Structure 1
Amino acid sequence: MTAEHAPRAVHLVLPAGVDDPAAPSGGNRYDLRIARELPGAGWHVTDHRAAGSWPRPTAADRAELARLLAALPDGATVLLDGLVACAAPEVLADRAYRLRLAVLVHLPLADETGLDPALAAELDAAERRALHTAHATVATSTWTARRLVTHHGLPPDRVHIAAPGTDPAPLTTGTDGGHRLLCAAAVIPRKGQLRLAEALAALADLPWECVCAGALDRDPAYTARVRALVARHGLGDRFHLTGALTPEALGARYAAADLVVLPSYAEPYGMVLTEALARGIPVVATAVDGVPEAVGRAPGGAVPGVLVPEGPPHALRGALDAWLRDPGVRRPLRAAAHARRAMLTGWETTSRALAGVLETLSREPRRTM
Structure 2
Amino acid sequence: MSRSLIFAYPGDLSLRTGGYAYDRKVTEGLRSLGWTVNLMPLGDGFPVPSKATVQSASKMLSALPDETLVVIDGLAFGVLDAWATAEAARLKIVALVHHPLALETGLSETEQTRLRTSERAALSSARHVIVTSPMTAREIAANYGVEAPRITVALPGTARAEFAPADNSVPKIFSVGTLSRRKGHDILLSALKSIEDLGWEATIIGSKTLDPATGVELSRRVAELDLTDRVHLAGEVDDPKGYFAGADIFALASRYEGYGMVFAEALSHGLPIVACKAGAVPDVVPADAGILVSVDDADAFGQALRRLLTDPAERKRRAIAARQAGAQLPDWPETAQIISDTLDRIS
User: What are the residue-to-residue correspondences of 1:112-131 with 2, within 5 Å?
Assistant: 112-131=104-123
The question of whether the paired residues in 1 share the 8 Å contact of 2:70 and 2:93 is answered with yes
The one-letter amino acid of 1:315's match is A
1:162 maps to: 154
Deviations 1:316-344, CA, capped at 9 Å, x for gaps: 11110001111121120111122223212
User: What are the residue-to-residue correspondences of 1:303-342 with 2, within 5 Å?
Assistant: 303-310=288-295, 312-342=297-327
Number of aligned pairs? 347
1:146 maps to: 138
TM-score by length of 1: 0.90
Residues of 1 paired with 2:308 and 2:130: CA distance? Answer: 37
Deviations 1:233-271, CA, capped at 9 Å, x for gaps: 211011111111112xx2221122111112111011110
Query: Does 1:356 find its partner at 2:335?
Result: no
Deviations 1:85-108, CA, capped at 9 Å, x for gaps: 111111112211210101000011
Query: Does 1:266 find its partner at 2:256?
Result: yes
> How far did 1:7 drift?
4.2
1:72 maps to: 64
Bigger shift: residues 307-316 or 103-112: 307-316
> How far did 1:178 drift?
6.6
Residues 77 and 178 from structure 1, CA distance in 2 versus in 1: closer, same or farther, beyond 3 angstroms? farther
RMSD across aligned positions (CA): 1.6
> How far did 1:360 drift?
2.0
Residues of 2 paired with 1:112 and 1:233: CA distance? Answer: 27
Deviations 1:134-175, CA, capped at 9 Å, x for gaps: 111111100001001111122121122111001112213111
**Residue ranges of structure 2 left out of the alignment (5+ in a row):** none
Residues of 2 paired with 1:321 and 1:26: CA distance? Answer: 28
User: What are the residue-to-residue correspondences of 1:209-288 with 2, within 5 Å?
Assistant: 209-247=201-239, 250-288=240-278
Match of 1:12 among 7, 10, 26: 7
Residues of 1 paired with 2:270 and 2:98: CA distance? Answer: 25
Residues of 1 paired with 2:5 and 2:51: CA distance? Answer: 26
The question of whether the paired residues in 1 share the 8 Å contact of 2:128 and 2:151 is answered with yes
The question of whether the paired residues in 2 share the 8 Å contact of 1:105 and 1:140 is answered with yes
Residues of 1 paired with 2:56 and 2:246: CA distance? Answer: 45
> How far did 1:177 drift?
5.1
> How far did 1:60 drift?
1.5
The one-letter amino acid of 2:10's match is P
SS of the counterpart of 1:210? strand
> How far did 1:305 drift?
2.0
2:166 maps to: 174
Residues of 2 paired with 1:100 and 1:178: CA distance? Answer: 55
The one-letter amino acid of 2:6's match is H
The question of whether the paired residues in 2 share the 8 Å contact of 1:138 and 1:161 is answered with yes
> How far did 1:42 drift?
3.6
TM-score by length of 2: 0.95
Residues of 2 paired with 1:351 and 1:31: CA distance? Answer: 10
Residues of 2 paired with 1:319 and 1:254: CA distance? Answer: 19
Residues of 2 paired with 1:104 and 1:193: CA distance? Answer: 27
Query: Does 1:99 find its partner at 2:94?
Result: no
1:295 maps to: 285
Residues 304 and 337 from structure 1, CA distance in 2 versus in 1: closer, same or farther, beyond 3 angstroms? same
1:50 maps to: 42
Residues 181 and 7 from structure 1, CA distance in 2 versus in 1: closer, same or farther, beyond 3 angstroms? farther
